[in-house]
Amino acid sequence: MRSSLGVVLLLGLATVARAQPEVAPEEQQPPPSAQPPSAHAHAHALGMPRTAFVFESRFAGAFNLSGGFGGTAAIIPGFMIGARLIDRLHLGVEFFLTNTTTAGVGGGPSNGTTAFTLGPTAEIDILKVAANRVAFYGKLGFGFGAAVLSGGFSPNIFLLRFDLGLGIRYAPVPYFAIGMESGFINLFFSPDKPGTFSLTSLYGGLVGTFMYGH
């Protein structure tokens, strides 16, 4: 009796196994861990990281727009250390250095200015394209420092700087981007004194950005 019951059970299991449809290997669903990454994740794997340590270097030239200081030429290197946040925001501290040559008013002697400032800078990606490799961004910064002037001005004076610019950067690899930037720089000399004066300049130049993150 027991042997007959065992034979019946084996025949039933064999019938159920034959009834199950076979699935081709290409039709089988991969486990969740083997699913291909989404398009958004793939873009970030190729483009700029979401969050990262940022080191940025600028090298620009400027031309003075102020009426009383026409003919100013300037070379402006700058360095920023900060972080990339929320996939589009750069926050950091920028060291700004400039050397200008200002033509004298009314045929007078030219004046030289060497200035440096240190202060916070913010950049935000306004538009990103090409799988997160290209970004059009805006920049806002200000800083405090000192200036050494010659040609009749008092040396070693307090300096305040504001700058506003727009730029575009391209990242051929996730950890480095190169770009171009242009905007306006305002330098206020001795803003805490009645005899203050300022320079407003249009600048443009190259920007290199190193990003270490994910």
200 vs 24, which has greater pLDDT? 200
Backbone angles phi, psi at 137, to 5 degrees: -130, 165
Query: What would the pLDDT profile of 87-134 be if each residue is shown by its tens digit?
Result: 999 999 999 888 776 655 555 556 677 888 999 999 999 999 999 999
H or E segment at 92? strand 89-102
According to DSSP, residue 9 is labeled H
Amino acid at 22: E
pTM of the model: 0.71
Residue 76 has a pLDDT of 79
The amino acid occupying position 13 is L
Q: Which domains does the chain have, with CATH numbers?
A: 2-31 (no CATH), 49-213 (2.40.160.20)
Predicted confidence (pLDDT) at residue 71 exceeds the cutoff of 80: no
